Amino acid sequence: MSEEGWGEVLLSTSTPRVGSGWTDTGESFDTRGLKKRARKATRPVPIPPVLVRLVREHIKEFGTAEDSRLYPAAQGGGLLSKEYGEVWKAARLAVLTESEAASPLADVPYSLRHLGVSLWLESGVSPAEVARRAGHSIAVLFRFYAKAIHRNQQRANEQIERALEADDGE
């Protein structure tokens, strides 16, 4: 990541918790390649300047785990889904109003991914670029985010009008 401007996170593996009985190593976490990609494939994810600053501040204050993870468990290793859920619940209570916390707003961490993809679409980023950044196919993007895409209809109409008016002026 550069000091200023956009950064990039390079994803290379996933490490789901599957239980020690389901791994070859006997560990609870199984390191795998990225979903629906070649085992050694990577996926770059651009991150905006505000997130670059937050990640840098976090690393400066807390460092990283030996394997470069930003959020290791207190005793080392990967966070258990139970621990992650407890931290998420506490964070929601700390930052949301009482009525927001009682609502389904960001009720699970995955909600942030959905929010991010919806924000990109509503900001006018092309669906092909949103799909690439999210690691989706275009078909998956349209299936799950059709509402966000549809809400852009007025903006799309205005863009088309401007383009047509510009052509009329030539």
Domain hosting residue 50, numbered range: 1-63
Give ∠ CA 35-36-40 in degrees, rounded to 5.
75
The residues, ordered by sequence, that sit 6+ positions from 157 with a Cβ below 8 Å of its Cβ are none
Cα four-point dihedral sign 41, 5, 134, 77: positive
Taking the C-alpha atoms of residue 69 and residue 83, their distance in angstroms, rounded to an integer, is 16
What tokens were used for 87?
Answer: 């931290």
What is the count of structural domains for the chain? 3
Q: Is 129 in the same domain as 144?
A: yes
Say if residue 133's pLDDT is above 60.
yes
**HEC-encoded secondary structure of 75-127:** CCCCCCHHHHHHHHHHHHHHHCCHHHHHCCCCCCCHHHHHHHHHHHHHCCCCH
Q: Is 97 in the same domain as 114?
A: no
Q: Is 2 in the same domain as 46?
A: yes
Q: Buried b / exposed e across 50-80, counting CB within 10 Å, b at 16+?
A: eebeeeeeeeeeeeeeeeeeeebeeeeebbe
Q: Is 80 in the same domain as 133?
A: no
Cα four-point dihedral sign 140, 146, 147, 148: positive
How does residue 139 score in pLDDT terms, banded at 50, 70 and 90? very high
Q: Is 47 in the same domain as 13?
A: yes
Say if residue 74's pLDDT is above 80.
no
In this predicted model, which residue has the larger pLDDT, 95 or 38? Answer: 95
The tens digit of pLDDT for each residue in 9-24 reads 888 887 777 777 777 7
Residue 147 three-state SS: helix
Q: Is 160 in the same domain as 117?
A: yes
